[in-house]
Structure 1
Amino acid sequence: MNRNITIRTNLLPGDLGYIAYMHGQLYAHEMGYGLNFEAYVLEGLSEFAKQYNPEKDGIWICEDAGKIVGFLMAFVRQDKVQLRYFILAPAYRGLGLGKKLMNLFIEFMMNNNYKKAYLWTTDEQLSAISLYMRYGFVLTEEFSSETFGKKLIERRYDLNLMVVEE
């Protein structure tokens, strides 16, 4: 497999549809999530598409030979940054791509003087949670849910970047 992975930062027609497809397929296969999860993803991506501001929001799309293999979004509204739709195709995990995307996310926050970010995930996303915590995200909220077609715990993690005063 070609490992000449590129990361682009511009959103093209079809990208968001493909991200919804990746989430629907991958989470059904790996986590047993149902159609409600895909509907949730589609609703969020629709909201993002309608409000997308390339001057304010962050997009990182990993491609291998023109095929999307990973994605991360920084959705910014009223200076609140939400990390969303972080996904890597299984064959591209363990290559350092997740760390690369998280570094780009943190760099984006620093370059835009954003101090706080948050994300929602589930208790089943152990590898992702471990990565988030290594970058300073802390658990701030959790509740039981059956939203995605099965019992699980939804969790919110928040990040506060420290400001260095001169």
Structure 2
Amino acid sequence: MLHSPQFSIRNTLEPGDLGQVAALHGKVYAEEHDFGLGFEAYVMESLLEFYRAYNPKIDRVWVVESAGKMVGFVLLMHRPSNRAQLRYFILEKEFRGQGIGSILINEWIEFYQDRKYEGAYLYTSTGMDAAASLYEKMGFKKISEMKSRTYGVPLLEQYYELIPHQKK
């Protein structure tokens, strides 16, 4: 019988969190996708952009912790034209397949709806099949793909938009 790891989720940013998000992305993407150091640097730069615009009334973080360590993360960042961006969705391997990703994305969608955003989008790349499947289940649709070697390996960068359900 498999043991499900214990975890908790918090919605506050605390000192050290941004560095841990960058480190977690650097570690996981290097191990699982052969991304180079440039990817971690990109995450660090974009986290600084998020922090400078951070408004806890309209932005939200979900920090997944286990035994005092960050093991997962996602955030909703406000964007122009009352749109939201889903960013940094990540879980360490041992925490996948437990339903944690679904919890995070469901809570993300609830916050998005509560704040009455009019649109949402995200960027990802090929090879993130479990995440892409979850995005699609929650109403995101792949809009475009573009070949890239941005992080040292050939990949397809993908752009998804949240397609609202039709009201009857």
TM normalised by structure 1 equals 0.94
Q: Secondary structure at the match of 1:41?
A: helix
Match of 1:39 in 2: 41
SS of 1:150's partner is coil
Partner residue in 1 for 2:130: 127
Q: Does 1:89 pair with 2:92?
A: yes
Q: 1:75 aligns with which of 70, 74, 77?
A: 77
**Matched residues in 2 for 1:106 and 1:164: separation?**
17
For residues 48-87 of structure 1, give each alpha carbon's deviation from its aligned partner in whole angstroms, at most 9, with x where no partner exists: 1111111110111111122111101001122220000000
In 2: Cα distance, 1:142 partner to 1:124 partner: 13
Amino acid in structure 1 at the alignment position of 2:141: V
Unaligned runs of 5+ in 1: none
Aligned partner of 1:98 in structure 2 is 101
SS at match of 2:123: strand
- 1:93-115 CA distance string (max 9 Å, x none): 01100000011001001111113
Q: How far apart, CA to CA, are the structure 2 residues paired with 1:109 and 1:158?
A: 13
Unaligned runs of 5+ in 2: none
Distance in 1 between residues matched to 2:103 and 2:47, nearest whole Å: 23
| Aligned equivalents of 2:79, 2:133: Cα separation in 1 | 26
Aligned match for 1:107, one of 98, 107, 110: 110
Give the RMSD, CA atoms, in angstroms: 1.5
The alpha-carbon distance between structure 1 residues 118 and 18, as it changes in their structure 2 partners (threshold 3 A), is same
**Shift in CA distance, 43/30, structure 1 to aligned 2, threshold 3 Å:** same
Question: Percent of aligned pairs with the same residue?
Answer: 44
Once residues 155 and 22 of structure 1 are traced to their aligned partners in structure 2, the CA distance between those partners, rounded to angstroms, is: 21
How many residue pairs get aligned? The number is 165
Partners of 1:94 and 1:115 in 2: CA distance = 31
Give CA deviations for 1:14-52 in whole Å, capped at 9, x if unaligned. Answer: 101000000001100100001111111111101111111
Structure-1 separation of matches of 2:64 and 2:156: 29
